[in-house]
Amino acid sequence: MPARKAGIDLHFSDEEKRVLKDLARASIEKALFGKEGKSPDIPAALKKKRGAFVCLKTSGQLKGCIGYLRGEMPLDETVRRMACEAAFHDPRFMPLDAREWEHTEIEISVLTPMKKIRDIDEIQVGVHGLYIVSGSCSGLLLPQVATEHGLDRQTFLEYTCEKAGLPRDAWRSEGTDIYIFSADVF
């Protein structure tokens, strides 16, 4: 089902998804092997500024996941940059090496704008991602994390707080802001 927020349709065609995946793959292969790929024609929908994350899984295990929350640059450029960031600069993991590449899958999540919520009942597990902010601490979990790990709403909130470096129950505290967003994941 396409992600929608405030009239923004984030449903991408199969061709647009293929172009984004090809851009991510080409960026990583250029860094790994010095391969210069042919530059594809970029559809207009991929030139719009959108927040996006690129996640890599090697042999089914998370290898890197980095992105922008908000549309700071055109989506095609975000995907190119975040693919390399996820592959080589996610501080949680060793950089991707050439031997791992053939066993690595690329997942792209294009985000809707954030919406600050006042009631956790607004959170639809499996539909919404969470972004929690308290003081200088912040943490984000993409919508698919709750589904992949079988999390309920409260556990999803707790894990997002942990990711922010906060106590698990910080989401209940005054001064903690909770944002939701949706994503087109492919």
| 82-140 per-position pLDDT tens digit | 999 999 999 999 999 999 999 999 999 999 999 999 999 999 999 999 999 999 999 99
- If pLDDT is split at 50, 70 and 90, which confidence band does 9 have? low
Structural domain range at position 98: 4-111
Average pLDDT, the chain: 93
Read off the pTM. Answer: 0.87
Shared domain for 35 and 50, answered yes or no, is: yes
Shared domain for 29 and 119, answered yes or no, is: no
Number of domains in the chain: 2
Residue 10 is predicted with a pLDDT of 67
Of 90, 111, 132, the residue at which a domain comes to its end is 111
If you count them, how many residues does the chain have?
186
